[in-house]
Amino acid sequence: MSNIVNIDSNVLRYNNILAIPSIHSRVYFALAVREAFYNFKPDAIVVEQPLNFYKSLKNAVARLPFISLIIREIENEAVYIPIDPCDSIIEAIRLSIDEELPLYTIDKDITSINTNSHYLMPDDYLLNKIGLESFYNEVKNNYSFVKTKTDEERELFMARELANISQKHERILFVCGMSHWDNILNLLKKDKNEIDNEKIEYSEDNNKIFNIHKNSINKVLGEFPFTSYMYEKYRNNELEKFDKIEIIESIFREAKLRYKLPISMLQQKNMMKYLRNLCILDNYILPDYIDMLTASKCMINNDYALEVMEGMEYYPYYTDEDEDYPTIKLNRDPATNGMEGLLKDKKIKLHQYDNIWKTSFKKVHVTTRPKEKYDGEWADTWNKRTNLLSHIPEDVLMEKHMNILRNKIRNMLTEDKAKIEPFKVSIKDGIDMRETIRNYYKKEIYVKEIPKIKGNIGHMVVIFDEEHDENYDWNIVWYSEAHDDSDLILYSTEPGNTLVGPGISKCFFGGYASLMPPQAPYDVWREYARLKKDGIVRNYADLLLYTAIVYSVDKYLGYVAPTPPSNILKEFAKMTTKVEIVYVPLNTFSSETLRKLRHFHVLGAKRLRSIANDYII
Residue by residue, DSSP assigns 158-182 as: HHHHHHHHHTT-S-EEEEEETTTHH
Same-domain pairing of 279 and 139: no
Q: How many CB atoms lie within 10 A of CB 507?
A: 21
Three-class SS state of 19: strand
Same-domain pairing of 266 and 208: no
- What's the total number of domains in the chain? 3
Same-domain pairing of 466 and 543: yes
What whole-number distance in Å separates Cα of residue 1 and Cα of residue 601? 46
Read off the pTM: 0.80
At residue 554, φ and ψ (nearest 5 deg) are -110, 170
Exposed e or buried b per residue across 488-501, where buried means at least 16 C-beta atoms within 10 angstroms of its C-beta: bbbbbbebbebbeb
Indicate the residue among 217, 250, 277 that finishes a domain.
Answer: 217
What whole-number distance in Å separates Cα of residue 14 and Cα of residue 7? 11
Answer whether residue 318 is part of any domain.
no
Among residues 34, 14, 155, the alpha carbon closest in space to that of 90 is found at: 34
Same-domain pairing of 169 and 263: no
Three-class SS state of 538: coil
Answer whether residue 432 is part of any domain.
no
Indicate the residue among 176, 195, 217 that finishes a domain.
Answer: 217
pLDDT for the residue 219? 85
Answer whether residue 446 is part of any domain.
no
Answer whether residue 2 is part of any domain.
no
At residue 90, φ and ψ (nearest 5 deg) are -65, -40
The DSSP call for residue 27 is H
Residue 188, domain extent: 11-217
Is residue 472 exposed (0-12), middle (13-18) or buried (19+ Cβ within 10 Å)? buried
Radius of gyration of the chain (CA): 33
Cα–Cα distances in angstroms (integers) from residue 80 to residues 17, 53, 71, 208, 339, in the given order:
28, 10, 4, 9, 10
Same-domain pairing of 126 and 270: no
Among residues 175, 170, 181, 231, the alpha carbon closest in space to that of 33 is found at: 175
Answer whether residue 606 is part of any domain.
yes
Answer whether residue 107 is part of any domain.
yes
By residue count, the chain amounts to 617
Same-domain pairing of 582 and 565: yes
Answer whether residue 1 is part of any domain.
no
Among residues 42, 553, 550, 78, the alpha carbon closest in space to that of 343 is found at: 78
Among residues 244, 334, 314, 268, the alpha carbon closest in space to that of 591 is found at: 268
The three-state (H, E, C) secondary structure of 447-502, written as one string:
EEECCCCCCCEEEEEEECCCCCHHHCCEEEEECCCCCCCCEEEEEECCCCCCEEEC
Same-domain pairing of 190 and 238: no
Among residues 2, 36, 27, the alpha carbon closest in space to that of 175 is found at: 36
Is residue 237 exposed (0-12), middle (13-18) or buried (19+ Cβ within 10 Å)? exposed
Same-domain pairing of 193 and 262: no
Helix axes 225-235, 302-312, angle to 10 degrees: 30
Taking the CA atoms of residue 120, residue 126, residue 132 and residue 138 in that order, the dihedral angle to the nearest 10 degrees is: -50
Q: Please, what is the average pLDDT of the chain? A: 86
Three-class SS state of 94: helix
Same-domain pairing of 179 and 207: yes
Among residues 117, 145, 158, 154, the alpha carbon closest in space to that of 356 is found at: 117
Answer whether residue 448 is part of any domain.
no
Same-domain pairing of 244 and 199: no
Q: In what order do the strands lie in the sheet with 172-177?
A: 13-14, 17-22, 172-177, 44-50, 103-107
Same-domain pairing of 150 and 228: no
pLDDT for the residue 338? 52
- pLDDT, tens only, 528-548: 999 999 989 999 999 999 999
Do 559 and 581 form a contact (C-beta atoms < 8 A)?
yes
Which residues of the chain have a pLDDT value below 70? Answer: 1-2, 74-77, 110-119, 191-205, 332-364
What whole-number distance in Å separates Cα of residue 311 and Cα of residue 315? 9
Give strand pairing partners of 585. 561
Q: How many CB atoms lie within 10 A of CB 573?
A: 21
Same-domain pairing of 56 and 190: yes
What whole-number distance in Å separates Cα of residue 483 and Cα of residue 13? 81
Alpha-helix residue ranges (DSSP H) falling in 14-148? 27-40, 54-62, 88-98, 127-142
Indicate the residue among 283, 313, 343 that finishes a domain.
Answer: 313
